[in-house]
Chains A and B, each alone.
Chain A
């Protein structure tokens, strides 16, 4: 079971439709899934799943970033995680990186700079963020746009972050992540 974490400003918010349901639409035919708002995550949730996807949020919604210390369990976590937008920003803060102002709205060209299991080469992706990140030495940069870091991974774990929204125009990246969970389980 894959756990999708709702990173929106509150449980059952209007952002749920826009940032969580499209992820479910990609995952549902591949794998069983559960959903939990970040404010209600507990030890059982994170230990009983095979992997985790942290959703994105509305452009003005930085609530999960204000609570990034609630995600400190990620440092010890051994299963795969994919963070999307606010999810990637949260992962980055957990691993001692900093946020960096970078506004991008709409389709942008993404260039892969490090080989990884989720995507390759150059592609266009949908962006909706006011911050990118300046990675700490615990994280590797996987992709960039003209303006900022677009994807990261942890150097020693299967933890990934993408700043763009793969659920909007690059669903296959989420599919690759779900396949990775199956591979790890076997």
Chain B
């Protein structure tokens, strides 16, 4: 089955890609970049890195910019998926949704309207196990955004590893935040993973900090041999 993966460049969509590629034929990645920082569906710092990631993986990328106005951004997503269906003859779409029925419902509906299969291979996966799996599989994923107290800029740029998972799980117990950031508490950017033929090297970054959030903004990056 020819599949497109909805790709944000973070750990969840990259792991979903890996699982999809184990079972079916992944033929492209689809990325939606939202101008709206409040976007429920698509806001991700460093979304531009998806282009480098797609190149590192060796898959075509369909990238759409959306103003991020509610419901219009879903129409923009639908158009991107429609384009993948026309150009690359996809038969289905894969997402990295874990817990959010809000996201899952909307993408399921778009796929139904376009007569496409929809798969969510991380659906309901235990958050701690998800983090452990990406570490075991050799992902290099850094924290590129923090959006909930008590996470602060000291977490930005840190690479996901066993020790960091323990710290996030401890925070979950104390502050009820999701350790894998499913509630939008953290964003990650994947710099290397099993399907990557090359890795991403960050050459320049800026730390942006607001009241209860911080972003590790990658200004310059390049592909490097692994």
Contact = CB atoms under 8 A, between A and B. Distances in A.
Nearest to B119: A14
Interface string B1-32: 00000000000000000011001100000000
A169 B117 contact: no
A15 B109 contact: no
Contacts of A14: 19-20, 23-24, 94, 119, 121
Contact of B111 (A22, A59, A103, A169): A59
B94 A168 contact: no
Contact of A25 (B19, B23, B126): B126
B120 A168 contact: no
A102 interface: no
Given A14-B119, A17-B19, A58-B118, A103 B125 contact: no
B103 to A, nearest CB: 11
Nearest to A128: B108
Contacts, number: 64
Contacts of A169: 101
Contacts of A130: 112
Contacts of A59: 108, 111-112, 117-118
A18 B120 contact: yes
A18 B112 contact: no
B155 interface: no
Interface string A123-163: 00010101000000000000000000000000000000000
B-side interface mostly: mixed
B117 A105 contact: no
Interface residues of A, number: 23
A13 B94 CA distance: 13
B123 interface: yes
A126 B99 CA distance: 12
Contacts of B94: 14
Contact of B122 (A17, A107, A128): A17
A34 to B, nearest CB: 20
The residue in A25, A60, A126, A167 that gathers the most chain B C-beta atoms within 10 A of its C-beta is A60
Contacts of B101: 106-107, 126, 168-169
Interface in A21-41: 21-22, 25
A45 interface: no
A21 B119 CA distance: 13
B226 interface: no
A105 B120 contact: no
B71 interface: no
Contacts of B105: 105-107
The residue in B20, B24, B120, B123 that gathers the most chain A C-beta atoms within 10 A of its C-beta is B123
Given A17-B122, A103-B112, 9 more contacts: A12-B23, A17-B19, A17-B121, A18-B121, A18-B123, A21-B123, A61-B117, A126-B101, A169-B101
Interface of B: 19-20, 23-24, 92, 94, 101, 105, 108-109, 111-112, 115-126
11 contacts: A18-B119, A18-B121, A22-B124, A25-B124, A25-B126, A58-B118, A59-B108, A60-B111, A60-B116, A60-B117, A167-B124
